[in-house]
Amino acid sequence: MIEASGLSKTFEDGEGKSLAVLSGASLRVARGELVAVMGRSGSGKSTLLHILGGLDTDYAGQVTVAGQRLDGASDEALARFRNTTVGFVFQSFHLVSGLTAAENVALPELFGAHAADAPRRALEALERVGLAAKAQRNPAQLSGGERQRVAIARALFLKPPVLLCDEPTGNLDGATGAEIIELFQRLNREGLTILAVTHEDRVSAAAQRVLRLDQGQLV
């Protein structure tokens, strides 16, 4: 489902020194897998995730996700890919203020060519994460765990085959984090391919396979 090889990425820091974050990293994730990528802070986990999700285009190497070649793809093609093929879940949820939970969930709809009845499908997506009752709340009226559920419902709204998570439980306490992890496991059982980058053992413990990012390589 996800295939990447020879990924390299260097950042220029302020003083003109360059920092190689990825140097020839490769990975392969099969359909229906739940894989965790671990590494210490600053090892390049988020960077890797952005490349795999088509959010970053400035790198070397090849990436194919769900049969789509990402390196060298046009901005329009990458936008369509992010809209339909992957869902993102972030550590800080990144909900849009001023929109209700349901409207947040339906956000991808605005950038796609999809049909009507978005409100009903948003409610269905919220049901899947157990939050249908709070569909009309604003993000500010929700707890951290609830916000992350809304974010997950948004990521799944257009039924992408792949979910990419960046420290999905990083801002949640133990019990709430455990609920989110359970949710991921359930979604994975239903067929979703999940790649989560994290430095938390509780996430990697739930994964079927754990990769380590070290010195710009995946092992």
Partner 1 sequence: MKASAVSALVRLNLRRDRRGALSSLFGIAVGVSSLVFFVALGLGISRVVREKVFPVDTRLVEVVPPQVALGGLLGGTLDQAAVDRLAALPGVDRAHRKMNVRVPAVCRYRGDFFGQQLNMGLEVIAVGVDPSLVQADVQLGKFEDPGAGQPIPAVAATRLIEIYNKTFAPARGLPQLSPAMLVGFSFPVELNRSFVTASAVGPSTPGTMQLVGVSERGLLAGVTIPLEAARRINKDHGADAATFTGVTLETSDPAQVPRVVAAVKEMGFRVDDAERRLSENAGAAVAITTLAMALLSALICLLAALNIAHALSASVRARSRELGVMRAVGASRADVARLVRAEALVLGASGGALGAALAVAAAFAVDLAVARFVPDFPFKPDAFFRVPLWLPLAGVALGALAAVVGAVGPSRRAARLEPARVLAG
Ligand X SMILES: Nc1ncnc2c1ncn2[C@@H]1O[C@H](COP(=O)(O)OP(=O)(O)OP(=O)(O)O)[C@@H](O)[C@H]1O
Binding-site ranges for partner 1 (CB under 8 A): 46-47, 50, 53, 55-56, 75-76, 78-80, 82-84, 88, 90-92, 94, 96-99, 107-113, 154, 166
Q: Between residues 12 and 175, which has the closer beta carbon with respect to partner 1?
A: 12
Residues β-bridged to residue 163: 87, 194
In the list 16, 18, 41, 219, the residue contacting ligand X (rule: CB under 6 A) is: 41
Helix ranges (DSSP H) in the chain? 45-52, 75-84, 101-105, 118-128, 144-156, 174-189, 201-206
Residue 217's CB: how many other CB atoms inside 10 A? 14
Contacts of 219 (CB under 8 A, 6+ apart): 211, 212
In the list 45, 121, 134, 154, the residue contacting ligand X (rule: CB under 6 A) is: 45
Binding window for ligand X (CB under 6 A); candidates: 40-48, 107-115, 120-128, 185-193: 40-48
Structure tokens at 83: 């809209």
Size of the site for Mg ion (CB under 5 A): 1
Residue 17 CA to residue 14 CA, distance in Å, equals: 7
With CB under 5 to 8 Å by kind, the binding choice for 11 among partner 1, ligand X, Mg ion, none is ligand X
With CB under 5 to 8 Å by kind, the binding choice for 98 among ligand X, Mg ion, partner 1, none is partner 1
Q: Which of 69, 36, 8 is nearest to 166 (CA)?
A: 36
Contact residues: ligand X, CB under 6 A: 11, 13, 21, 39, 41-47, 199
